Structure 1
């Protein structure tokens, strides 16, 4: 029978991590991670770690950090219990208030937000410090949302009663085995039963004694920690071994003896399954570990495969093996592009607005994703399960967070009407849950992220995923809401971004909302005919849809849903909406609306972006009367403005280096400003809107282009520093935003390759003689005038990142137009050699390998590619190594 602690289910099998870091046996980190993964897959979802496992500079908490860095998606699947408040260096308890604070903060620093501490306990008691003081100090961290719940370790019944008087106790950890049954006689088990406190029983096999691992005292290595325990001392070891052997002897029971046993069982309460059931479970776990290294096993489906699954796994994509990535997507900056120097290559259609990505790995990908797909089917079948609701005590708080932090930018609902209906219990459940879903991404909401009857908040992504499933369950059912309510539910839910199909799901929901708005004629100013009759509320609703439509176009690479030509409703006059932040947001969105035009098909390749006057944020604030907004709202609008300004330059690929045009300079400056803002104290106060990780991703793509294009080493070093900053920021954002996952992986891959490269010059786009690849001959003949200082003029053709300039024998560059003289070629080649270091074959291979990975695998629009199981297969992408190097600070 399962239980829940801090909102997470606890299975019957626990997993202790102390054995990884024994003095006589230090398990390599990678081996430990493999074992942890197998334990989770075998059903061990309750993990126990702590400061006391290992050395002060590397303990089992460091292993947790490494594991969840590699498998961040598993953080929501595991219940983490942490032993703290014990200084291993001095071997003393730290149970007073200051010691507790110091210890817990140290634990949280080690975990670095990779996973949540669901339960924390002082590892050992201190006779000089009352347990009330210790529990009270831990409770402060529970109230702050940094710890999920409080446990006790190695305690007496009296200690439990004192602790419960201060704060609810979620678990008691004590040794329980056939050798250690003291809790059943000393009152601990009875007290836990009275207070309904689960018991975490450790060492059920008595540290190998009951398994036959130890046959004699000498079987334990010299520095084995078990040599310090009384039960394993030489003078009693032999007696205990005899006792164990005696109780393991196979005996034959008479009918009378069996009847006597049955009578005993009738007189006591027996919980759980009988021995055959438990033994079957044990065999199942053993089989799992035995087969864990076998490839090709059909894990979890008993070897069965439906016809539909078989067809899916063996049939190539009907889309011709290609997928399109818009240039508005930051990841397009990393993807491989056809070479403009290849005369035989043909540009794919619409190559001027994005990239067509190869799907040559499609069948293999589907096989790898088979398990994820079956999980999705199980999720779909779970629609009949009870809906997970926000905790009753937290619902009002999340609504307050929404209206304080999100509503000023996007007033999708009428606050007065909503609060009145909520007070009367008349707000439709999915609308209230959708409001909570959007609010949950904001930093102020973290302490309120509780579902059901949970007493502790959940991590933001887990909370949002589970609540999103509840809202989608309502939307899949029969519609019981008026059109305006349905529009609001759909629009709010579209702002959630979690899972493999985030872009598709968000766009689909927003499209449905826009469809219903068009049906009502809101875009034509026909809102007065709706059931609410609230013209201003309907006008706000439409312009929120308009703003989100444009944001969806850029962030998710979709065409806009509603054309400007179809909009008849008038814009707001200054102050009309009642929300200055909203009006400033709309004015910035107007800039984005124009910028989107630079990315449309058939736009002239001479267009490099917004080259005339670009409105400043101060002008926008003047128009919107936004100067009295709270600092957090001003900073959020500033970041949104910088994000749009970065997009205002129309990049055409890595090899076509930007000229010194206004939009290019603006892009680089604003990208750097994004990083400065995110790293400042104001970055921690930003309102929780979904464009935040997108802004950092854009800054990363600009830094990557600068790294590849700059001809100066110091600028490349600066770009590498920015990539490192972006990596750290994106990693921190991943705790809340799954949309940061893919770009964080890209950023880490860039850093890995940079660290491996012999020189940053390996990544530099080569400067080439004028005329190569575009049949251009400069007037003036030889010398410097025959050399093109950056790259050929933008022609609309995309340059491949991995295509080296072909060389003829003798070192003369091949592929020169017929009209170019040998003298021009010689002069230009000589200049180029002075400017660039010689490429070794190893550098080229390294360079090609990096771009191949970006071009083939890291496509966020691939089905099921938002999780990291596919990224983990990339070499040398090693999350644990990255964490140890301190990449994320």
Structure 2
């Protein structure tokens, strides 16, 4: 425990006093502030209870502040203020879980000692401003035009300099850019060393920091969690650890469904364009996951409350080309499903890549980006050459 005390000075004081939770400074924030009062978002103020959940009927009847959620013309559930919902749950169960799932089963003392240390270490795992600017530009020019899962013009002016959401977004952008050869000289983490990190080490440190933030819920913005999990899954598709990539994809899909992004978000979200783009990214990721790992898809068109054709046509040319390729991949997946009577007449009309470029109006996309769609003849699954596999430490 002495080594722990040296790396996290508050550990010793925590051991001496277990009556009060320890608040450690994390870049200007306390552990209490990180875990209990992150920046509020409109998505977190309400809890959705679908009508398929019998609990929703009673909650709607007993809560005067509940509002009806509508998808199209049919009522599908109720939105209940989260504070009211949490109060009802605590009143019924009589217990409040104050521990993180990351340290599930550990004593309160161990949680109070280790969690602040984990947060403190993860919070400072970011490159310096100069290196981050380069990595951000790499993401903007090489990844975002094809897979715009993260808003590169971040952080918004209203986001605090030391907020968990800002740090998580920065780490996600750096992770997405780290596989580019142009990034090699800028893979530095000053909190660990002033020297350039090996790509595998840089990626391992960042991935663990991102997972720590997501698992501990330090940023309550679920959209940011979807972005982070999507990048983790996408760039580990071709790594040796197939399960982790599929798990991150499944968690991203779960968040998307929780946020109701599979419905027509233009009716209830001001940021519906970003929400639609993020939904399409996760939908595409789900198809890639199924193709690479031989798994069933998790998102089905029969559950969507939006016009997919229109949603795809409204995207920028590079992303639209990517989505059209994914649509073809979805048809190929259908050939390998165990169901009988699969229709494969479309195979005779399989379009060429040049046809897809014309169809999506992508003729003006740079040859550099077009080259990233080039299929690798030695590995047919490696359709996108920019998906350099990254390995995560266990």
TM-score (norm 1): 0.28
Q: 1-side partners of 2:147 and 2:238: how far apart?
A: 24
Aligned residues: 276
- In the aligned structure 2, how far is the partner of 1:581 from the partner of 1:604? 34
Q: Where do 5+ consecutive residues of structure 1 fail to align?
A: 1-380, 648-670, 675-685, 691-735, 740-865, 868-889
Query: Paired residue for 1:445, among 160, 172, 183?
Result: 183
C-alpha distance 527-413 of structure 1, shift in aligned 2 (>3 A): farther
Deviations 1:557-590 (A, max 9, x none): 2210111221232235599545211000000000
What is residue 396 of structure 1 aligned with on the other side?
Answer: 133
Determine the structure 2 residue equivalent to 1:720. Answer: none
1:631 equivalent to 2:367? Answer yes
Matched residue, 1:595: 332
Cα shift at 1:422: 7.2
| 1:688 and 2:382 aligned | no
TM-score by length of 2: 0.61
Paired residue for 1:507?
A: 246
Q: 3-state SS of the aligned residue for 1:523? A: coil
Partner of 2:293: 556
Cα deviation code 1:254-282 (max 9, x no counterpart): xxxxxxxxxxxxxxxxxxxxxxxxxxxxx
CA contact (8 A) 1:406 1:689 kept: no
- Counterpart in the other structure of 1:485: 224
Q: Distance in 1 between matches of 2:181 and 2:146?
A: 16
Cα pair distance change 1:399/1:419, threshold 3 Å: farther
Q: 1:382 to 1:493 in 2, by over 3 A?
A: farther
Displacement after TM superposition at 1:435 (Å): 1.6
Structure 1 equivalent of residue 24 of structure 2: none
C-alpha distance in 1, partners of 2:247/2:299? 14
Post-superposition shift, 1:545?
0.8
* Aligned residue number for residue 543 of structure 1: 280
Cα distance in 1, alignment partners of residues 352 and 141 from structure 2: 26
SS in structure 2 of the partner of residue 436 of structure 1: helix
The structure 1 residue matched to 2:268, chosen from 514, 522, 529, is 529
In 1, are the aligned partners of 2:239 and 2:391 still within 8 Å (CA)? Answer: no
**1:431 matched residue in structure 2:** 169
Q: Is residue 398–residue 445 contact of structure 1 (8 Å, CA) maintained in 2?
A: yes
Whether the aligned pair in 1 keeps the contact of 2:169 and 2:228 (CA below 8 Å) is yes
Question: Does the 8 Å CA contact 1:552/1:558 hold for their aligned counterparts?
Answer: yes
Cα distance, 1:575–1:471 mapped onto 2, change above 3 Å: closer
Could you list the per-position Cα deviations for residues 721-754 of structure 1 after superposition, in whole angstroms to 9, with x for gaps in the alignment? xxxxxxxxxxxxxxx6449xxxxxxxxxxxxxxx
Q: In 2, distance between residues paired with 1:738 and 1:509?
A: 14
**What is the CA distance between 1:608 and its match in structure 2?**
8.7
C-alpha deviation, 1:609, in angstroms:
9.2
Aligned counterparts of 1:422 and 1:398: Cα–Cα separation in 2 = 20
- 8 Å contact kept, 2:149–2:281: yes
Q: Which residue does 1:102 correspond to in 2?
A: none
Distance 2:328 2:366 in 1: 23
In the TM superposition, residue 382 of structure 1 has moved relative to its aligned partner by 8.1
Determine the C-alpha separation between the residues in 1 that align with 2:134 and 2:307.
35
Check 1:474–1:490 CA distance in 2 against 1; reply closer, same or farther (3 A cut).
same
Specify the alignment match of 1:458 in structure 2.
197
CA distance in 1, matches of 2:275, 2:252: 13
Shift of 1:551: 0.3
d(CA) in 2 for partners of 1:574 and 1:475? 28
Structure 1 segments, 4+ long, off by >6 Å, are 498-501, 607-610
SS of alignment partner, residue 189 of structure 2: coil
1:406 maps to which residue? 143
- CA gap of 1:441–1:423, structure 2 versus 1, over 3 A, is farther
C-alpha distance in 1 between matches for 2:162 and 2:252 = 25
Deviation at 1:472, TM superposition (A): 1.2
Distance of aligned partners of 1:409 and 1:551 in 2 relative to their CA distance in 1, 3 Å threshold: same
Q: Relative to structure 1, is the Cα distance of residues 594 and 440 closer, same or farther in structure 2, using a 3 angstrom cutoff?
A: same
2:356 aligned residue = 620
Q: Larger radius of gyration, structure 1 or 2?
A: 1
Partner of 1:284 in structure 2? none
Question: Could you say if the C-alpha distance between residues 421 and 630 of structure 1 is closer, same or farther in structure 2, counting changes exceeding 3 Å?
Answer: farther
Distance 1:391 1:574, change over 3 A: closer
Contact 1:390-1:449 at 8 Å conserved across structures: no
Cα distance change of structure 1 residues 687 and 596 upon mapping to structure 2, 3 Å threshold: closer
Written as runs of structure 1 = structure 2, the 5 A alignment for 1:717-756 is 737-738=390-391
Shift, 1:420, TM fit: 4.6
* Distance 1:422-1:442 versus aligned 2 partners, 3 A rule: farther
Structure 1 residues 618 and 574, CA gap change in structure 2 (3 angstroms): farther
Q: 1:554–1:596: 8 Å Cα contact kept in structure 2?
A: yes
Tell me which residue corresponds to 1:495.
234
Please say if residues 536 and 577 of structure 1, whose CA atoms lie closer than 8 Å, have aligned partners that are also in contact.
Answer: no
TM-aligned CA distance change 1:413 to 1:497, over 3 Å: closer
Q: Can you list the C-alpha shifts for 1:833-865, whole angstroms capped at 9, x where unaligned?
A: xxxxxxxxxxxxxxxxxxxxxxxxxxxxxxxxx
- How far apart are the structure 2 equivalents of 1:482 and 1:452? 27
Partner of 2:52: none
Relative to 1, partners in 2 of residues 1:584 and 1:420: Cα closer, same or farther, differing over 3 Å? farther
* Matches of 1:582 and 1:498, distance apart in 2: 19
**Following the alignment from structure 1 to structure 2, what is the Cα–Cα distance between the partners of residues 599 and 537?**
33
Cα 1:584–1:382 shift into 2, 3 Å: farther
1:511–1:575 distance in 2 versus 1, CA, 3 Å: closer
Shift of 1:555: 1.1
Higher relative contact order (CA 8 A, sep 6+): 2
Deviation readout 1:461-496 (Å, 9 max, x if unpaired): 121011111111112213432222222222222224
Cα distance 1:492–1:575, how it changes in 2: closer, same or farther (>3 A)?
closer
Q: Which runs of 5+ in 2 are unaligned?
A: 1-112
> How far did 1:501 drift?
7.1
Query: Does the C-alpha gap of structure 1 residues 411 and 577 become closer, same or farther in structure 2, counting only changes over 3 Å?
Result: farther
Taking the TM superposition and a 5 Å limit, the aligned residue runs for 1:105-184 are none
Within 2, Cα distance between the matches of 1:540 and 1:643?
32
Cα distance in 1, alignment partners of residues 300 and 311 from structure 2: 24
Q: 1:472 aligns with which of 211, 222, 243?
A: 211
